[in-house]
Structure 1
């Protein structure tokens, strides 16, 4: 019988140490070439059609370096076909790959991060498997690709290049190695997770979740994105907020045109510092040591123009709106709507119990925002299933969670009767 991991070492024997996990640092089949010519793309499409099984796919962007969220690299792997490192910059969209792979399942890790830039390039798979989401539904505590590969496949993936500037050309050899290794393990990881989903009776749940991710639409732009400036809470006066808003907009306009990440143009801290000081001349702005950033000095006249306009305009009313648009922050509920506060906390407690029983995170059982909406409105039991469906809940969530939420609202004793 195999002893449990925490069993003491036998008498007279030295305690055994866990052998190191082997590091995977060489792509299967050698270093794949970059696909960046029409001829290379045609060959890639032919080989993908001739391969077998699902396609592992990943993308690399230049978040933190570029303004756009476009894909700067797309990696594909299919058994009996090989690994392909596609440079999207070299092509006018990726629709030829989409057409060549119609009907073939694509394996992502955290598909919600990759699908938007693929959709923008005209590449939308018909069906997907998400290994990160599968890990969540199975109750894994760590669902990063490196953690799951190490736990389930017994190898270690280096993640040193996950946050580099993928718009760099030419790409360093070690970056290409990293990109290739990320997708080559996805088919085997999928096979294991699929078996575990079937064993746990969660295959239908996973399919509904994968389909929902694939069909999801981009979030509507925030009405006032400048309010997400880090440190903006330090600005109290309306004029300071007006300066911060003007500088944010000027920075965003410049970043969009130059395709540089806004934080690299001038950081949030510099905007907040300038707004707090309310400089009265370009010289005062230039003397402000906290006003830093790549373009803080080169574009000084641009920033001063924005500040000057904000200072000379009538003082606007810039009271912060409710975070969710239809109800205040939860911390204010106990005083503004005590009944909703009781409903929310009762439902959270009961959903937490379901989470513990099913080994599915509470946020995957039901969207926290949707729960807040239901609690604030006090939806009655007979209208709960329709409200959940209208809010985007999947059928499995409605079946499992509707009676739980209804019971919690009833226990809270403040459900609003249906109209």
Structure 2
């Protein structure tokens, strides 16, 4: 079997196992684990055994993954150790992912497998090197170079950032007129881009719109790059750059041991030569002299992904680019499967870039050879890539309008070169901005924070930002995000507990632990009456943002069944943000009451009851008391709302009383009644009479007469019933009086004689009667379930067989 088939089969097996494991994990998480553990001790033991086995397996995997590296695997003894050593676990996982990514690239052929020795001597990048970056190159322990800068960064100044330009070469508008202020969309005052007018009026050279033979790059083995770390070397380089028609530019940046970032290195290449400029020199602000080339509209500046390079150059060196061609925008326009510089180097040059050095600490001096070669390779081949992509843009078919595609790339490049650096003030109230806590809160999913925890989170985040600005360190160097959330969740009760939560590398936080604990205690006390997370999220949400989107932003763990989510009702807006007070459903509409008086009349179907020939028993307090309200024939509904609902239900017939004698029955049945009252009345009573304003006066008069006739007929019928009932009651009373007189004497004798309970028969232990009468079988409540369910009847042609179950 071929290797690709083996890999595919292994991949399918791994994926199937992962899917099954994930499903089982979700099923277990959906159950009430705590209840199962409490109610069933065996389940608790099994859960403890499984947790111990998983923790042991995880520790073994971490130990195995860190072999051959500088990382030290943590030992996980309980579930709390996962939170304690979370940062170290993430480092191990990152290392594994980097190894997997490198192996996959080598297997698929994206990167050539690095083997040594090789048949032909190659550049330093072809040498075998470890897949991960050494810790000493990633986090170097060196003196901060910004301490020696002539223009030190001021992170505490809240005023808008002003460009550090002192001169403006190739200007269409003077420097003084260019440095005007305006109010941005956030109502903040900012300075305009000094070269805004020049970029808007830019006309690219005609060579950009001409298809030419690509100029081959110089061999790396036969050429070297010049390291520029003096201002005299900068001036010499500038004289050579003025004669070029295109130059390639790239930068390297560092942001871990500084608050706003440091432009650490700048690479510049022409068709013949490469330069590596040290931008960490104390005089780095003097590099603005390069604007004589960088702002020259006749010279094309080629960069890849210049989105942040534009910001770093103007912030640290006062350099602005006019005439930018961004190869990233060209890759987007040409719809390449990947837009990275590594892809372009592989596609056009067949060069394998080792991108692990992107994470290197570029403040290291002297620069290691491998890092120096990596920095040079970013610009050495870029002009040749520019030639290839320019021709491809211009050679598009006529129906696709290749010339317009080139203009699209140039317009996007202009937009990138117009980007400005702005200082961001810390927003302690709403947490907005690049250094605010709002985006961090959304990403880390703190929806379960209580008011006190939320207050502690904001207070610690503000403290971390203040310390980072004052010490000129990044916020992550002062305190990691994991530690920040851990402190907010646990709210340590004393400084010692707080000190135990801090990372070993958080030297500044450990130094300020006592002051930090005071801030935490104060925030905890004030947080009881402070805002909740839901209130802050709702206040910062877009007006058209629905409750579903807010909930997802606030509570990504909402799909977890065992998550205890509180405060959801606070997220629900009482009115629609889009429609205002217009109700979305008719259920929310307020009932409209019609003040005009309307009357609805309907008759109850007494005729149907009379057809049964039974007389309903009506209990009266006195003979003079009128009949019950249920016997009323007409029901008036007045002053009811138009939209009110009513339901007529036909109840069960009440059981008629037993007739004492035939004479009473005959007397009751022979009671005279009006002809047709039993038959005709039912049809009439099905009508519901609603006054209509359109009826004529004659029709109204006829309806009233008809109603009066029905009312009189019903009154007569009711009177007949009353008389019949009175006669029946009188006969019954006379019969009961005679019976009482006949047995009065015997009852008196029995009442004088007391009952002897000692001679009474036992009720609980009563003996069976022996008179021969059949005895009823005792009720057995378990009789229906002793023999099991009743079997199904036999089908046609089925014969009885033999059973040999449990036969020995």
After TM superposition, the score normalised by the length of structure 1 is 0.68
Quick check: 1:316 aligned with 2:530? yes
Quick check: 1:191 aligned with 2:404? no
Aligned to 2:360: 164
C-alpha displacement of 1:43: 0.9
Quick check: 1:44 aligned with 2:237? yes
SS in 2 for 1:33: strand
Structure 2 residues not aligned, in runs of 5+: 1-107, 114-121, 126-219, 397-401, 552-576, 580-808
SS in 2 for 1:84: strand
Deviations 1:108-166 (A, max 9, x none): 11010211001112111111111112111211121111112101222222223111111
C-alpha displacement of 1:219: 7.2
Q: Which of 445, 457, 469 is matched with 1:244 structurally?
A: 457
Aligned to 2:410: 207
Quick check: 1:54 aligned with 2:268? no
Distance 1:97 1:88 in 2: 13
Deviations 1:211-269 (A, max 9, x none): 11111345784851112335352542122111111111211222223332221221101
C-alpha displacement of 1:317: 1.6
Contact 1:246 1:310 in 2 (8 A): yes
Aligned to 2:468: 255
C-alpha displacement of 1:323: 9.3
Contact 1:21 1:155 in 2 (8 A): no
C-alpha displacement of 1:179: 0.7
Aligned to 2:439: 228
C-alpha displacement of 1:77: 0.6
Q: Which of 317, 325, 333 is matched with 1:129 structurally?
A: 325
Aligned to 2:276: 85
**Paired residues, number:** 320
Aligned to 1:117: 312
Distance 1:54 1:305 in 2: 59
C-alpha displacement of 1:296: 3.4
Quick check: 1:76 aligned with 2:290? no
C-alpha displacement of 1:37: 1.0
Q: Which of 284, 300, 303 is matched with 1:108 structurally?
A: 303
More displaced 10-residue stretch of structure 1: 67-76 or 122-131: 67-76
Aligned to 2:104: none
Aligned to 2:481: 268
Aligned to 1:306: 519
Bigger relative CO (Cα 8 Å, ≥ 6 apart) = 1
Alignment of 1:285-304 (within 5 A): 285-288=498-501, 293-304=506-517
Q: Which of 340, 347, 372 is matched with 1:144 structurally?
A: 340
SS in 1 for 2:302: strand
Q: Structure 1 residues 105 and 324 mapped into 2: Cα distance closer, same or farther (>3 Å)?
A: farther
Q: Structure 1 residues 321 and 142 mapped into 2: Cα distance closer, same or farther (>3 Å)?
A: same
Contact 1:25 1:158 in 2 (8 A): no
Distance 1:175 1:269 in 2: 31
Contact 1:56 1:183 in 2 (8 A): yes
SS in 1 for 2:262: coil
Distance 1:333 1:278 in 2: 29
Aligned to 2:629: none
SS in 1 for 2:371: helix
C-alpha displacement of 1:288: 3.3
Contact 1:63 1:165 in 2 (8 A): no
Deviations 1:67-92 (A, max 9, x none): 22231111111123x11111122124
CA RMSD in angstroms, aligned pairs only: 3.2
Contact 1:235 1:275 in 2 (8 A): no
Contact 2:242 2:293 in 1 (8 A): yes
Aligned to 2:706: none
SS in 2 for 1:72: strand
Q: Structure 1 residues 34 and 210 mapped into 2: Cα distance closer, same or farther (>3 Å)?
A: same
Distance 2:251 2:390 in 1: 23
Distance 2:388 2:547 in 1: 42
Higher alpha-carbon Rg: 2
More displaced 10-residue stretch of structure 1: 21-30 or 164-173: 21-30
Q: Structure 1 residues 305 and 292 mapped into 2: Cα distance closer, same or farther (>3 Å)?
A: farther
Aligned to 1:356: none
Distance 1:19 1:299 in 2: 49
Distance 1:143 1:330 in 2: 34
Distance 1:302 1:274 in 2: 14
C-alpha displacement of 1:298: 2.7
Distance 2:223 2:302 in 1: 22
Contact 2:255 2:262 in 1 (8 A): no
SS in 2 for 1:139: coil
SS in 2 for 1:160: helix
Q: Structure 1 residues 28 and 312 mapped into 2: Cα distance closer, same or farther (>3 Å)?
A: farther
Quick check: 1:98 aligned with 2:310? no
Alignment of 1:404-419 (within 5 A): none
Distance 1:195 1:209 in 2: 18
Distance 2:241 2:500 in 1: 59
Deviations 1:311-330 (A, max 9, x none): 24354225333697533546
Q: Which of 490, 499, 522 is matched with 1:277 structurally?
A: 490
Aligned to 1:362: none
Distance 1:300 1:20 in 2: 48
